[in-house]
């Protein structure tokens, strides 16, 4: 079985000796009312034909509506409990979180209902 891989960006800023990081919460019916422990950096899966860094930039833009540029620092990959490998890059940058515009995805909900709904990827 092939291991899944995802890539993302850890955006952070420093304000008066305090460190702030941007975390997002997945949206959709599976994540409704599940705020505790379900926050992460903006990231997404990529395949062997994709470059991890380019995928991280693409995923950040898809999930936040913001295209990033700057001096990125590659972080060490992390292997999650279920085996997925997460590749990440850090960038120090101030971002107005009020400007976040998530992309959407479609899925059948409720299951086996035949009804397709559109959901934000992050809320």
User: Residue 104: beta bridge partners?
Assistant: 120
Bridge-based pairing of strands 5-15 and 85-92 is parallel
In this prediction, what percent of the chain has a pLDDT beyond 70? 98
Domain at 5-120, CATH from 3.40.50.620, 3.90.79.10, 3.40.50.2300, 3.40.50.10490: 3.90.79.10
Smallest Cα–Cα separation from 118: which of 103, 100, 99, 105? 105
Q: Output the pTM of the full model.
A: 0.86
Confidence of residue 1 (pLDDT cuts 50, 70, 90): low
Between 27 and 115, residue with greater pLDDT: 115
């Amino acid at each position: 079985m092939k291991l899944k891989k995802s890539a993302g960006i850890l955006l952070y800023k420093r304000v008066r000796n305090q460190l702030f990081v941007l975390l997002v919460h997945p949206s959709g019916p599976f994540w409704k009312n599940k705020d505790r422990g379900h926050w992460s950096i903006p990231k997404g899966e990529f395949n062997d034909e994709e470059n991890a860094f380019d995928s991280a930039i693409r995923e950040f833009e898809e999930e936040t509506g913001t295209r990033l540029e700057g001096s990125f620092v590659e972080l060490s990959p992390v292997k999650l409990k279920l085996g997925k490998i997460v590749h990440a890059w850090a960038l120090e940058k101030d971002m107005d979180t009020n400007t976040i515009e998530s992309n959407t995805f479609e899925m059948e909900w409720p299951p086996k209902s035949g009804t397709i709904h559109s959901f934000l990827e992050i809320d």
